[in-house]
Structure formats: structure tokens, C-alpha cells
Structure 1
């Protein structure tokens, strides 16, 4: 029997969930970027975290973050270079807990997570 998959902690869902070419030249199926892959890109590229810090925030191993980050970058590159629609949807995640728009554990706005309450 396979080991159950560990749900990843995500701070918040993206406001915009579909990206793509504006010229109307859409022939391919959309590329699906999971919510967790979006969160990895947000934490590493936007917030400037190292993979270990990102893994701690998301409650997974660094190797898991490395794999998700590699796959996410490939999907984003495919969308940009080949003019494909990119949709952010699905995955196996939980949202962090908030109190007055702040994640409870770190008190630094909406970008931190409570550890230990995963389900």
C-alpha cells in the first residue's frame, strides 16, 4: 500500500487563475499549474526564500519543494514560449489559518503558516 500523500500548506489562493496569449491564437490544451506549484514559485521567486525555508513553510521536505519548483518553472516556460494558456487549479493542499488577516504562527501578514494543524 502506498504511503498517503502529505498535504502542502498554502498561504492563500491566487487572485488570477488563468494566463495566456491575448491574440486569440489558442490551439493547445491549457497547462495546469497546481496551487502548490504556484505557492512554491511565489515563495521562492517573489518572496526570495531558499528552498529549505519554502519547505518549512509548506510543511514538506526540501526535495519535494525542489521537484515542484522544477516542474512549475517548466510549465511556466512552456506557456510563455509556446503561447499556451496557463491555469492555476487543483492539487492537494490546505490553506493556512488566519486571524485578522495574519497567519497565526509567525504574525507577518498573509505569508506565514501555522505548523502542526494540518488536518
Structure 2
């Protein structure tokens, strides 16, 4: 029997949940899960390494690496194949408020909410 999958922790769901190719009709749709989106955000946007990303998401480093690899393949498929990209789904826990370890994260979703209030 397989071990049950852990819920992955994400900062928040993205405000923009889809992209479509410009200039022609989309040749299909690629679905990027919330946890895949989060690994792209943390590793590529926040410049975290895989270990820091894994700790923030509450998973092992190898799990974060696997999620990240899957996300990059899906992004490449959407970009090269002219497919629409939809961000949705996955077994995730969304942070209700900013955690102490996020105080130095420049693009923390909760910082923006505090500034807008």
C-alpha cells in the first residue's frame, strides 16, 4: 500500500490563474497545480534553493525537486506548444497569515495584503 501524500503548504493562491497564447487559438490547455506554481515562485522568483523551498512547503527536498521538475516540463509544454496555461488544483494548505519566517521574503503575498489594508 502506498504512503498517503502530504499536503503541501503554499503562501496563497495566485491572483492570476491562467494565460493564453497571443496571436492564435490555444492548441490545448496545460494545468499547473498550486504546489507546482509555488515551487516555481519560490525557486525562480524568490531565488530559494530546493531545500529552502521544501522547508517552506513542508515537504522533503526530493519531493520539492520532483514538483519543480514537473512544473518546468508543463511550462515548457505550454510555451513551446502554444497551449493555454491554467493554475488550479492540488492537495495544498494555504497560509492564513504571514508566518515569522516570511518576514524577509520580498514578494510574500501576505505583505501585499497588509500594505493594501
TM > 0.5: yes
Which residue number corresponds to residue 7 of structure 1? 7
Measure, in 2, the Cα distance between the counterparts of 1:81 and 1:38: 18
State TM-score, norm by structure 2.
0.84
Which residue number corresponds to residue 93 of structure 1? 92
CA RMSD of aligned residues (A): 1.7
| Structure 1 consecutive aligned stretches of length 4 or more whose deviation exceeds 6 Å | none
Kindly indicate whether residue 100 of structure 2 is the aligned counterpart of residue 105 of structure 1.
yes
Measure, in 2, the Cα distance between the counterparts of 1:85 and 1:33: 11
Q: 1:111 to 1:53 in 2, by over 3 A?
A: farther
The Cα of 1:111 is off from its aligned counterpart by 5.8
Q: 1:107 to 1:36 in 2, by over 3 A?
A: closer
Which residue number corresponds to residue 16 of structure 1? 16
Kindly indicate whether residue 42 of structure 2 is the aligned counterpart of residue 43 of structure 1.
yes
Task: Name the SS for the 2:101 alignment partner.
Answer: coil
Which blocks of at least 5 consecutive residues in structure 1 are unaligned?
113-119
Which residue number corresponds to residue 63 of structure 1? 62
Which blocks of at least 5 consecutive residues in structure 2 are unaligned?
111-117
Number of residue pairs aligned between Structure 1 and Structure 2: 107
